[in-house]
Amino acid sequence: MTESDNEFVCFKNVQKSYDGKILVVKDLNLSIGRGEFLTMLGPSGSGKTTCLLMLAGFETATHGQILLDGKTINNIPPHKRGIGMVFQNYALFPHMSVEENLSFPLEVRSMGRSMREQKVKHALDMVQMSEFATRRPSQLSGGQQQRIALARALVFEPELVLMDEPLGALDKQLREHMQFEIKHLHERLKVTVVYVTHDQTEALTMSDRVAVFDDGIIQQLASPDTLYEEPINSFVAQFVGENNTLTGVVEKIDKSSATVRLDSGDMISAMPVNIHKSGERTQVSIRPERVETDMKRLPEGGYTISAEVLEFIYMGDVFRTRLKVAGNDDFIVKSRNSPDQSRLTPGETIKIGWLPQDCRALDA
């Protein structure tokens, strides 16, 4: 990979303010490689769409530079950027048929008729929508409209495709199916995709890398597994995946381990992530599936603590148990439904345990 392949899209110190007072995007630095699938994940209002609009050219950056393939594009109008875009509401032109919608980007590029027809057909085949060519968008279901929108963004073969919550309006099952399809298209066409969502499962399953946004800042930029297993602050830990938190004060800290006095008085040891000195308040984070309720399975060196069972939920593939641990009565444990797994009854007091390296001490 050359330098420019690693930096196909590049935000450099980009800031954006709509009203001149509040910065919606604060000092964004982000490089996206050629062919990468990058997801911007974040809560509502965190500035994801704004970033996408700046990249597409519909909003201008208040400060900073945006580069595409090594060239600054700040002053290039949207229609000359050659970036495909899929909108949350699809934005299919209601007065044109599916065919005409797909043909539109080719027509404005003055492509010949036979060439156009061929490409439109190819794009429709790609999303398995050939038999709907003559329909109006209003005569299609949400999922079908979604496919057409996708085909339209790809039909003129852009190198970069932006998608702003493209699956937001679909039901769960269809959404999962479409995630899979988009992912496959990405792999086949080798386009670069910048994808916006506030659904963390979607982000984790589809992306090469995920940028977690909050408050106009990238909180963490990492691959899905790193993001899930090694969140670098409590926002990311909370936002990505399910998470148990115990609050306390740092008692003692060195490079690879820290001792935390929980608010209940218990002392636990944890991995220090972004705490720096003793006396600091901290949130300790443990994933529900890393907590063991059966002491026989707890590996050597595990930490144990007593807990009261509040609720037991049978979910088929997993058991979900709500416990009261160190004053936190919303402590969740997930255990696999295996033959030897014990089913807990509410009211009993048990011992639970985890490994100190699964227990991350983050900022409060």
Ligand X SMILES: Nc1ncnc2c1ncn2[C@@H]1O[C@H](COP(=O)(O)OP(=O)(O)OP(=O)(O)O)[C@@H](O)[C@H]1O
Sole window of 47-55, 106-114, 177-185, 285-293 interacting with Mg ion (rule: CB under 5 A): 47-55
CA–CA distance, 301 with 176 (Å, rounded to integer): 39
Sole window of 29-37, 92-100, 189-197, 336-344 interacting with other proteins (rule: CB under 8 A): 92-100
Lookup: tokens for 52: 């996408």
CB of 56 to ligand X, least distance (A): 12
Work out which of 87, 230, 266, 341 binds other proteins, going by CB under 8 A. 87
- The residue (of 49 and 146) whose beta carbon lies closer to ligand X is 49
Which class for 44: exposed (0-12), middle (13-18), buried (19 or more C-beta within 10 A)?
exposed
Residue 197 makes contact with Mg ion by CB under 5 A: no
CB of 49 to Mg ion, least distance (A): 3
Lookup: tokens for 251: 């008692």
Which class for 62: exposed (0-12), middle (13-18), buried (19 or more C-beta within 10 A)?
middle
- The residue (of 55 and 106) whose beta carbon lies closer to Mg ion is 55
Whether residue 37 contacts residue 183, with contact meaning beta carbons closer than 8 Å, is answered with yes
Nearest to 134 by CA among 171, 97, 104, 109: 97
Work out which of 39, 46, 49, 234 binds Mg ion, going by CB under 5 A. 49
Residue 39 makes contact with Mg ion by CB under 5 A: no
- The residue (of 164 and 358) whose beta carbon lies closer to ligand X is 164
Q: Which does 44 bind (CB under 5 to 8 A by kind): other proteins, ligand X, Mg ion, none?
A: ligand X
Residue 108 makes contact with other proteins by CB under 8 A: yes
Sole window of 20-28, 45-53, 339-347, 355-363 interacting with Mg ion (rule: CB under 5 A): 45-53
Q: Is the dihedral of CA 92, 98, 101, 105 positive or negative?
A: positive
**Contacts of other proteins in 23-62 (CB under 8 A):** 56-58
The residues binding other proteins (CB under 8 A) are: 56-58, 77-79, 81-85, 87-89, 91-95, 104-105, 108-109, 152-153, 156, 162
